[in-house]
Amino acid sequence: MPLFIRRADQIISISEATAVDIERVGGVEVRSKTTVVYNGTRQIFQPLNTQQIRDSRQKWTDGRPYFLFVGALQPRKNIARLLKAYEQFRSSSSENIPLILAGRMAWNSTELKHAIDSSAYHSDIILPGHIEEAEINLLVGSALAQVYVSLLEGFGLPIVEAFQAGVPVITSNISSMAEIGADGAYLVSPYEIGEIAEAMKSIASNPGLRHSLILKGLEKAKDYNWDKTAAEIHSLISK
């Protein structure tokens, strides 16, 4: 990768955070030939109507609202701290809200499985595995909030997908997530379990905050679409 970076005539980065990583690998001289072009997202993500939300929640959680994580279940995604934050949230709240971890068990998942099995709330931690595209909008769009507190991302696509679906997002205040989420998401330190738990509690108990985050997220989602991405890449290639 350092060789590719040095030889390239032009570098396209999917975020400013990734551009910083490219400069760290390739040296300060590569920054002048690096252009940030954000990802778009699949148009399947749209706000759901009341009946769709009711039906989806009935399928997954017996009708209850739920917190959701979408992505591969592996250490970089910070699932261990998310589980501890969820336990802290449940122990300090009367809200009976499940947590759905939607994604395949990836590498180094033995400790994660043990943490789930030993949790006092393991019966409310739901592992549906990989969700097919035909159903993912229903799962995301019916969530009380997407909780995506990863330790490192190049972009953070689930953040924008939740924005498009009209769902509040709790995400990390580091790496690309702070950049992509910006003022549309509830930002927390992914290392502070208490902060994550407090964010979950705030969204669960404060409809006004949730509504505000939905509106901000829908507006922020407009920054990310494939037509805009394609036009910017075409412009670079044309030069």
In angstroms, the CA 44 to CA 161 distance is 9
Instruction: Categorize the per-residue pLDDT at 111 as very low, low, confident or very high, splitting at 50, 70 and 90.
Output: confident
**Residue 86 pLDDT:** 98
The phi, psi pair for 160, rounded to 5°, reads -70, -35
3-class SS letters over 187-206: EECCCCHHHHHHHHHHHHHC
Tokens of 60: 């997954």
- CA atoms of 85 and 11, how far apart (whole Å): 38
pLDDT digits (tens, 9 = 90+) for 141-189: 999 999 999 999 999 999 999 999 999 999 999 999 999 999 999 999 9
Is the predicted pLDDT of residue 191 greater than 80, yes or no? yes
Nearest in space to 160 (alpha carbons), one of 217, 203, 214, 209: 217
Mean pLDDT computed over every residue of the chain: 95
Q: CB within 8 A of 10, min separation 6: which ones? A: 33, 35, 236, 239
CB contact at 8 A, 170 and 206:
no
Question: What is the arithmetic mean of pLDDT over 216-226?
Answer: 95
Flag whether pLDDT at 108 surpasses 80: no
Look at residue 222 in the predicted model and tell me its pLDDT: 93
Show the beta-strand stretches assigned E in 17-116: 34-36, 67-70, 99-102
The SS3 call for residue 22 is helix
Contacts of 8 (CB under 8 A, 6+ apart): 30, 33
pLDDT higher than 90, residue 55 = yes
Mean per-residue pLDDT for 198-217?
Answer: 98
Q: Where are the domains of the chain?
A: 2-40+224-238, 50-221
Of 7-16, 108-117, 132-141, where does mean pLDDT reach its minimum?
108-117
pTM value is 0.95
Cα separation, 196 vs 186, in Å, equals 10
- 50-221 has which fold? Rossmann fold (3.40.50)
